[in-house]
Amino acid sequence: MFTIILFFLLLNIPLFVADFIYPRCFWRMKQKEEKNGNMGIGCTFFLHAVKWHLENEYFSHISNIQTHTENHKYALALAFSIYEINRNPDLLPNMSLTFKFSEYSCDWESQLNSLISMGLQNHDILPNYVCKEFSKCVMAITRLNWATTVTLHIILNNFISQQFLHLTYGPYHPVLSDDEKFPYLYQMASDDTSLALALVSFIIHFSWNWVGLVILDNDQGIQFLSYLRREMEKNTVCFAFVNIIPVNMNLYISRAEVYYSQIMTSSANVVIIYGDPDSTLAVSFGMWESLGIQRIWITTSQWDVTPSMKDFTFGVGYRTFAFGHHHGEISGFKNFVQTLNPVKYSDEFLVKLEWMHFNCEVSASKCKTLKNCSSNHSLEWLMIHTFDMAFIEGSYDIYNAVYSFAHALHEMTFQKFDNMIQDNGKNYSYSCKKLCSFLRKNPFTNPVGDRVSMNQRDKLQEVYDIFYIWNSPLGLELKVKIGMFSPYFPNGQQTHFSEDMTEWAGGNTQMPTSVCSADCGPGYRKFGKDGMATCCFHCKPCPENEISNETNIDLCARCPEDQYPNTEQSHCIPKAVVFLSYEEPLGMAISLISLCFSAFTTVVLGIFMKHHSTPIIKANNCTLTYILLISLIFCFLCPLLFIGHPNSATCILQQITFGVVFSVSVSTVLAKTITVVLAFEITASQRMMKYILVSRASNYIILVCTLIQVILCAVWLGASPPSVDIDAQSEHGHIIIVCHKGSVTAFYCVLGYLGTLAFGSFTLAFFSRNLPGAFNEAKSITFSMLVFCSVWVTFIPVYHSSKGKMMVAVEIFSTLASSAGMLGCIFVPKCYTVLFRPEQNSLQMVRVKSSSHVHIS
């Protein structure tokens, strides 16, 4: 079944496309008389088959029937349908369809009760008792309200032995769709499930979400409200108001002011009207029209809701759109009608009787807009076109009803095992029960290519044409097909518009807005109003680091870690990857300072090596001095490992090199301090201490102390080594790449060990600062270790309060400052003496200042 439906849809795609290539326009002259209540619009016809040929004159009596002008179109549509079938040799051969039509055919609702009462009094109708036998089934085609339809159906099928097949061409009503209660009643119209979907799709196309609804207070209206509400909830469209108009006229009049106030005070510019146009709903709209309410009206094609005010001007604030069932074009209808009575059915009368259609493209090429064209030329402008009468809504339902009856009768009559019984050589007999079975089980394709099924369960969803309706002050009403809705297309593509026709009809494509709240644009999110519909909301900016790049979203989205919101918070921008590089000023400055200090230290080393034979150099242990200077060179070069794009190797080298090199430096200072202390404190009797001093055994202090630091670093690398860390939170719009310490405990153990060595050196040097001697280094070492400890004690709180690149800069600064402190305090005074005070760098000066102490050089 699915395959058949899909194949059918594929076959119809060219038809849909063709409808846009050749758009249709419809026009008619408006009636002079006004509709006041129910005027009997809609007639009742009875069809049956006979075995004789019908001449064309059989239909000529229709023009002589005195009835409302609107009713003529239904009788003519029925006649034309029967005329086509009777001329078709492949459908019901040797048989003809006939029908009954009189001046009473269109006034059944007012006469039905009196006919029943009279029939009971005359004993023509006896409940549950049939006095006659009927040999054939008659089909009744009606357009009555649902209550009258039910009454008529009960009479036809209970008092006349089920010999009537009942088809209705009026609006669909849910009560009449019960097959068990009404087995011989068929509704040609389908339910409006697809109409609700079509309306919502149309509303969404123009970005509306705040609409009003006007319906009748009956089953049909309430069911449509249910359909429409379901589709609107799926697509976040809300009702601004729902006017449920009572069917009873007196009740409506008592509440009319409330309905008027409701529509006037609403901010909705779009109003949907759904219901029977021959009811209080039409009266209600007529009142609103007279009071000058201007809205965008959306309704079904049988409604004529465009007011014809004398001072009417074409404006964008007032428009009417109508939805009608899509069907193929039926040609030859006008020809057939005029052959019945050319005098009575003149062109002007036919324009009033029914819609005429012509090619829009011809008119569009000559006129810029619909307003200019129709106002300047009016009826004469249209009369020059080649036009034909169009089947609209009820007429097309009659057309399909007749063809359904004919196809069912044809199938039943020509079954292999059925006997064709003749009635006096004229009529065939056929039972309604068997005919109903064929009617329900045999779908067919009508002459215009549309598939027709009388089984409600098998009916396809409806395709709708979208029309724009315009009335000129001269009484010319024109309807332009501007688009189409098909439920078989994917969501979001179900509504299609012919932009050229839209622009021609309206003069422009700009539409008024109809929303409860202005859209929340990018960078904002919706915040619902208490007690209001979901379409009514406030707009609030997205929270920090969140964005919204669509309109009317409920929640903002957080940017990924490597991105940040732009100023408008409408999209995320990739963060700039930053690190302490050589190109930026801070990196360049640190590199320059590091290289300058290391160069200066190299110069100092050169000076000491050049003057190594002078007393001041020899007095301070050349070996330890050279080791300290070389380690300080590497200390000054350590910051270069902190500059540039971090990677795993540099992160490990930064900390390991720092820890080992500084361990060598500080342990060398400790060795020099111990050497100074031993030099001034030993006596002649302390042979062992003198041996240690002479044998340079204190130099092994450097090796032992450095080895301990190497062990600590090895443990650090084994437990949790330093690694590259991405810091995306410290600075807005930046991703900072830094080296993570890995084990913070291990880092502070390394730093603490250096502090212990420095504090030991400081303590020994402090207590030996007042020892006599021309070149006593105790004071210099004391100040250098004081600077070293001060720098690294200050480093801890500053380091923890810094983020990103500043943490790296703080560590580099501490490294340079502590290294410079040792270089400046220990070696700068000696260089000054060597270079600028050579007289103090003599053996005689040593002897004068150290006469009371033994000094071993």
CATH number at residue 408: 3.40.50
End position of a domain, from candidates 452, 480, 506: 506
Residue 580 lies in a domain: no
pLDDT given for residue 592 in this prediction: 94
Quick: pLDDT tens for 376-388. Answer: 555 565 656 667 7
CATH number at residue 206: 3.40.50.2300
Beta strands 238-245 and 210-216: pairing type? parallel
- List phi, psi (to 5°) of 145: -70, 165
pLDDT given for residue 39 in this prediction: 44
pLDDT given for residue 35 in this prediction: 46
pLDDT given for residue 533 in this prediction: 85
Mean pLDDT of all residues in 491-504:
78
Per-residue pLDDT for 150 more than 70?
yes
> Is there a single domain that holds both residue 672 and residue 794?
yes
Q: Give the lowest-confidence range in 146-155, 698-707, 843-852.
A: 843-852
pLDDT given for residue 116 in this prediction: 53
Strand ranges (E), 667-728 = 723-727
Q: Give the lowest-confidence range in 32-41, 743-752, 839-848.
A: 32-41
Residue 569 lies in a domain: yes
Structural domain containing residue 253: 193-391+466-506
pLDDT given for residue 38 in this prediction: 42
C-alpha closest to that of 47 among 91, 105, 133, 116: 105
Residue 854 lies in a domain: no
Alpha-carbon distances, residue 622 vs 605, 672, 789, 850, 853 (angstroms)? 10, 10, 25, 20, 21
Query: Which is higher by pLDDT, 687 or 654?
Result: 654
C-alpha closest to that of 780 among 599, 602, 660, 616: 616
CB atoms within 10 A of CB 113: 11
pLDDT given for residue 710 in this prediction: 92
> Is there a single domain that holds both residue 639 and residue 602?
yes
Q: Which amino acid is at 151?
A: T
pLDDT given for residue 138 in this prediction: 82
496 forms bridges with which residues in the sheet? 484
> Is there a single domain that holds both residue 414 and residue 368?
no
Per-residue pLDDT for 283 more than 90?
no
pLDDT given for residue 417 in this prediction: 39
Residue 511 lies in a domain: no
Residue 37 lies in a domain: no
Quick: pLDDT tens for 286-316. Answer: 788 777 788 888 988 777 655 544 434 444 4
**Helix 499-506 vs helix 370-383: crossing angle, to nearest 10:** 90
Q: Give the lowest-confidence range in 362-366, 410-414, 494-498, 706-710.
A: 362-366
> Is there a single domain that holds both residue 648 and residue 766?
yes
Per-residue pLDDT for 658 more than 60?
yes
Token pair of 609, please?
A: 């090596």
Number of Cα atoms under 13 Å in the Cβ half of residue 182: 23
Q: Which amino acid is at 204?
A: I
Query: Which is higher by pLDDT, 505 or 125?
Result: 505
Residue 603's pLDDT band (cuts 50, 70, 90): very high
Quick: pLDDT tens for 172-187. Answer: 888 888 888 888 888 8
Mean pLDDT of all residues in 530-551:
88
**Using an 8 Å Cβ cutoff, are 789 and 758 in contact?**
yes
| Cβ-proximal residues to 264 (8 Å cutoff; 6+ apart), any chain | 293
Average pLDDT in the chain: 78
> Is there a single domain that holds both residue 182 and residue 246?
no
CATH number at residue 618: 1.20.1070.10
Query: Which is higher by pLDDT, 179 or 688?
Result: 179
Quick: pLDDT tens for 559-598. Answer: 888 888 988 899 899 988 888 888 888 889 999 999 999 9
Mean pLDDT of all residues in 148-177:
76
* Reported pTM: 0.67
> Is there a single domain that holds both residue 562 and residue 701?
no
C-alpha closest to that of 841 among 659, 685, 602, 620: 620
End position of a domain, from candidates 533, 551, 574: 574
Residue 9 lies in a domain: no
End position of a domain, from candidates 515, 541, 574: 574
Q: Give the lowest-confidence range in 143-152, 333-342, 446-455, 549-558.
A: 143-152
> Is there a single domain that holds both residue 339 and residue 480?
yes
**Using an 8 Å Cβ cutoff, are 243 and 262 in contact?**
yes
Residue 835's pLDDT band (cuts 50, 70, 90): confident
pLDDT given for residue 542 in this prediction: 92
> Is there a single domain that holds both residue 606 and residue 754?
yes
Residue 31 lies in a domain: no
Residue 713 lies in a domain: yes
> Is there a single domain that holds both residue 100 and residue 119?
yes
Per-residue pLDDT for 785 more than 50?
yes
Quick: pLDDT tens for 747-783. Answer: 889 989 998 988 888 888 887 766 655 456 778 888 8
State the DSSP code for 247: S
317 forms bridges with which residues in the sheet? none
> Is there a single domain that holds both residue 735 and residue 828?
yes
Strand ranges (E), 548-683 = 557-558, 563-565, 572-574, 576-578
Query: Which is higher by pLDDT, 727 or 375?
Result: 727
> Is there a single domain that holds both residue 474 and residue 411?
no
pLDDT given for residue 11 in this prediction: 45
Q: In total, how many domains does the chain have?
A: 4
Tell me whether residue 74 is exposed, middle or buried, using C-beta atoms within 10 angstroms of its C-beta: 0 to 12, 13 to 18, 19 or more.
Answer: buried
Per-residue pLDDT for 15 more than 60?
no
Residue 442's pLDDT band (cuts 50, 70, 90): confident
> Is there a single domain that holds both residue 254 and residue 290?
yes
Alpha-carbon distances, residue 223 vs 14, 186, 275, 485, 857 (angstroms)? 34, 19, 11, 21, 115
Q: 622-633 in b/e burial notation, b at 16+ Cβ within 10 A?
A: eebbebbbbbbb
pLDDT given for residue 636 in this prediction: 92
Per-residue pLDDT for 800 more than 60?
yes
Would you list the DSSP string of 293-354?
Answer: ---EEEEETT-------TT----TT-EEEEEEE--PPPPSHHHHHHHH-TTTS-HHHHHHHS
Q: What percentage of the chain exceeds 70 in pLDDT?
A: 77
